[in-house]
Structure 1
């Protein structure tokens, strides 16, 4: 199996963890400080990655620290803004609005980095985003303050993916990922110190369950796979895999919470998968054949 195909599969598995984690995060932060939750999430992810990749610690250099910080800043901003928004918006709205980064990434890639984006990728993004709309917006989409925070967060995630792509040619991305996790944890810790609603040892078991799920599979696993995978997969195609997130969230709701899967959901899922295939098809080769 080619590295590109392998990491595409691993990324899709990661989007399943992300999709499920929306519910965990919303329940965990409740009325408390989102910064405390995020501090523990990134700290947990960092510790797990150090235990797995401890041999890579000696490869951390000043250059690694610089790269780690440059990819950390937009991820930290995006995560904080999305989590704050999730306190006052629905999971479906959050998933849909965050999905806007699938269009922001090729747009910003073209405007900021002056890199050409293939026409088929634009078509794939539009197709997948239409599918995401059908899944996430069952009735109507109305913007509140939480939605506006989430829109700002989508820009953060888009710049994060572009920054990772910018440094994806580095020989070993893992040391930078380790820096990423602890930088984000430190940033959230500082913000939590300024938040009067911060409770450092919540008694609710849901909080710690959310930390374990969001920290290990949805953060440690996903960001390690993504940073390595972007050595083989273009940024805009990485974004397309993110749109699988609401599909898995819907399936989890059906299997765990007995929620109904509607016709809109089925059609939306088909459009998302179609968008991913469109991005991978070599049209010139197909025409020649």
Structure 2
């Protein structure tokens, strides 16, 4: 697979993730965040598991073996997905789909920033104005008053940190062990088990509630988890972490469109201005380096 095809897969991933914000938002009317997260990721993991076992068998037939370090890396991806997903799911019940999408998109500038801080990978200079742009965009998204940010919005910002960590970790793991589907299935199952454990501790289980949220669980589990996260893991084998982050940031736009079309959400004028600044800032993280390489 070449880089172009990988990036197209990531764009499809962004579309599925963006529209899944609607399912995540409406699901909270019937089910708690821990059980929703646990069930959707267990479902996604089980959907992918047959393909993962087939991939692992072929990998071993080539004389290769998945090391303990690789398994731990896959499990760590699952921990990051769980932390990101549960904070996102809690937050989405207290904010709009549009805000949730754009604030989650903060993971894009966070990816190169974290690579610099923790791995000494110097990012392109565009990361700095992008970070400032995202901060300004967040200000206007709140209506020009940071006190206008809801508790759910702050949960979304926390979620973005862990999504960035997950993207970085996936990039390292798939390059060390060429089993992206096994990585996808493992991280889903780890996340699912953590979610179900949280549900047993913090929530009351009800079959009626699960059935009432059945469509949202199916959409968020099979499509958003089983298909989209697997596409991410496969595509990141053939493209860079920063590339993946910027393309998948398209989920913010798809989330806003889905929120407007399906839920009838609207932003104030300041909110649209802030969303535009954030989206431009997110795009600049990757587009400016590409433009520089092209002109060079």
* Corresponding position: 1:178 with 2:175: no
Q: Tell me by how many angstroms 1:132 deviates.
A: 7.1
> How do 1:50-89 and structure 2 match up within 5 A?
50-58=49-57, 61-63=66-68, 64-89=70-95
Following TM superposition, by how much is the alpha carbon of 1:186 offset from its aligned partner in structure 2, in angstroms? 0.8
CA contact (8 A) 2:55 2:181 kept: yes
Shift of 1:133: 5.5
Q: Pick from 211, 220, 238 the counterpart of residue 217 of structure 2.
A: 211
Q: 1:139 to 1:95 in 2, by over 3 A?
A: farther
Partner of residue 161, structure 2: 155
Q: CA deviation at 1:29?
A: 2.0
Q: How many residues align?
A: 284
Structure 1 length-normalised TM: 0.83
Q: Is the 8 A contact 2:180 2:237 kept in 1?
A: no
Q: Deviations over 1:161-185 (max 9, x none)?
A: 1111222312222222221111111
Q: Deviations over 1:225-279 (max 9, x none)?
A: 2122222322222221232112212333455456679994896698379537624
d(CA) in 2 for partners of 1:69, 1:211: 23
Kept in 1: contact 2:101–2:253 (CA 8 A) = no
Please say if residues 84 and 159 of structure 2, whose CA atoms lie closer than 8 Å, have aligned partners that are also in contact.
Answer: yes
TM-score normalised by length of structure 2: 0.81
CA distance 1:219–1:30, change in 2 (3 Å): same
Match of 1:233 in 2: 239
Rounded Cα–Cα distance in structure 2 between residues aligned with 1:154 and 1:86: 13
Q: Which residue of 2 aligns with 1:47?
A: 46
For 2:287 and 2:130, the matched residues in 1 are separated by 5
Point out the more displaced range, 213-222 or 262-271.
262-271
Unmatched segments (≥5 aa) in structure 2:
60-64
**How far apart, CA to CA, are the structure 2 residues paired with 1:203 and 1:181?**
19
Task: Could you tell me which runs of 5 or more consecutive residues in structure 1 were left unpaired when the two chains were aligned.
Answer: none
CA shift at 1:5, angstroms?
1.1
Structure 1 distance, partners of 2:260, 2:76, is: 39
Q: Which moved more, 1:45-54 or 1:186-195?
A: 45-54
CA deviation after TM superposition for structure 1 residue 218, in Å: 1.1
Matches within 5 A, 1:1-289: 3-30=2-29, 32-58=31-57, 61-63=66-68, 64-120=70-126, 122=128, 129=134, 142-169=148-175, 170-202=177-209, 204-205=211-212, 207-256=213-262, 264=272, 271=280, 275=284, 278-279=287-288, 281-287=290-296
Runs of 4+ in 1 over 6 A off after TM superposition: 124-127, 258-263
Q: How many Å apart are 1:97 and its aligned residue?
A: 2.0
Cα distance in 2, alignment partners of residues 144 and 250 from structure 1:
17
SS in 1 for 2:120: coil
Bigger shift: 59-68 or 215-224?
A: 59-68
